[in-house]
Amino acid sequence: MTHTRGDLFDPVFGAGSDTAVAAQVSDHAWVAALLEVEAALTRAASTAGLATAEQAATVTAVAARLAAPGGIDVADLGRKSAAGGNPVIPLVKILRAACAEHGVPASAVHVGATSQDVMDSALMLLSRRAGRLVLADLRAAANAAAELARVHRATPMVARTLGQQALPTTFGALAVSWLTGLDDAAEQLERALSALPVQFGGAAGTLAAVHPHGLTVADALADELGLARQVVPWHTTRTPVAALAAALGVAAGAISKPATDVTAMASTEFGEVAEDAPGGSSAMPHKQNPVAAITARAAARRVPGLVSTVLSSMDHEFARAAGAWHAEWETVCDLLRLTGGAAHRLASSLGGLRVRPDAMARNLDITGGLILAERVTGALAAHTDAARDIVTAAAASGTPLDQAPEITAHLTAGELRDLLDPAHYLGHAVDLVDRALASRTTGGHP
């Protein structure tokens, strides 16, 4: 079974061989998908009279038997694949030989196809199946963020910009930024998955071997596999693969945002959130590391380079690429596995996140009211044109704003108490949470 790295590290990134996504892009899954395409092709050919219904049924049954565990020696198939540069060539020989034992002629297997037709269609099958699992975890993470936003829509916390405290906001508003990014990424991924097309063009993309039935067989093959129908063969027009890779890259980026925030907020100095099952340290018993967020971030960081590999491999020459096509197979599988691992780890992190409003309140107070300087300046401006200079000077000197003589000369203690209450300067934070949650529901999101 293939791995992004191996049994030692893959589980850390949520991409271990025991995960659902990894199972969908394993070596066995690849072989099963290739055989599934071959069987579907014979059935599609039978609709145009290029094979009989009985032959199609036999090929389907034999392919299913070979696709079962132990039906094909994957390692041996891999060795035999080296000569032709892909596993379809030796696999077709095996399938034809097995079908011949039941009286099916070689002409009824791999009808009118080239190796790339089978490889690309199988990759589309694997991508759609694995991608749906990635999408489910992406949605789960978004749903967890939505619940955090709902519960903490009005929980005050510090908004931080450029690493500094800025103004008061709510934790719900921060969680909304997580869920909207995750929802957007999920929508883009869903579109890319739904658009994944069948591939059927024959040796040079003209369908000459099955003329005049080529277009009929191509559409029937798409329907048999549940893939989108192709407009024309796309052997060297790799936009479907690139769109999938880009969508997975966007998803990884959307995952990284909340994972980064959670990691920072769980730090000792902030202490604003904690994961439900934090990891420890081999040397420091007191450590409570946000491991799920950390590893989600780590897996996601490996994705952009893989996206780049796919995008830089789009320059397929003429009717068949020499190398650029081959570079996609494992790259796309690794993209699915790592993005799926990142999504799974983030869903775990957000789904069990413990929020600490008391720590958020404490952090709101550590500047002594300076994060409300904007509000004080606005109120003071009604009394003096030097309002900004006065507040800036007080902040620079470290004088609390409710004790600076130049300010108290114009604003009463009661006014300043109200002005310096973070809960009274949240702007539209709560409204934005409500708007986002309402839009998410009416827009058809989970």
Q: What is the 3-state secondary structure (H, E, C) of 316-348?
A: CCCCCCCCCCCCHHHHHHHHHHHHHHHHHHHHH
CATH 1.20.200.10 maps onto the chain at: 10-357
Give, in order, the Cα–Cα distances in Å from 148 to each of 323, 349, 433: 47, 12, 10
CATH number, domain 367-442, options 1.10.40.30, 1.10.150.240, 2.40.40.20, 3.40.50.970: 1.10.40.30
For residue 97, give both structure tokens.
Answer: 């030989």
> Known catalytic residue: 439?
no
3-state secondary structure of 294: helix
- In the 8-state DSSP scheme, what is residue 4? S
CATH 1.10.40.30 maps onto the chain at: 367-442
Provide the pLDDT for residue 446: 53
> Known catalytic residue: 229?
no
3-state secondary structure of 16: coil
Q: Which of 281, 308, 312, 439 is catalytic?
A: 281
Provide the pLDDT for residue 12: 77
- At the top level of CATH, the class of 10-357 is mainly alpha
Provide the pLDDT for residue 432: 97
CA atoms lying within 13 Å on the CB side of residue 58: 19
Provide the pLDDT for residue 221: 98
Provide the pLDDT for residue 442: 62
Bridge-partner residues for 161, per DSSP? 164
Q: Prior bond to 90 cis, omega within 30?
A: no
Give the residue ranges of the chain where pLDDT is below 70.
1-5, 16, 18, 278-287, 442-446
How many residues does the structure list for the chain? 446
What's this model's pTM, rounded to 2 decimal places? Answer: 0.92
- Residue pointed to by tokens 């591939």: 199
Provide the pLDDT for residue 282: 43
Cα–Cα distance for residue pair 90/225, rounded to 1 Å: 22
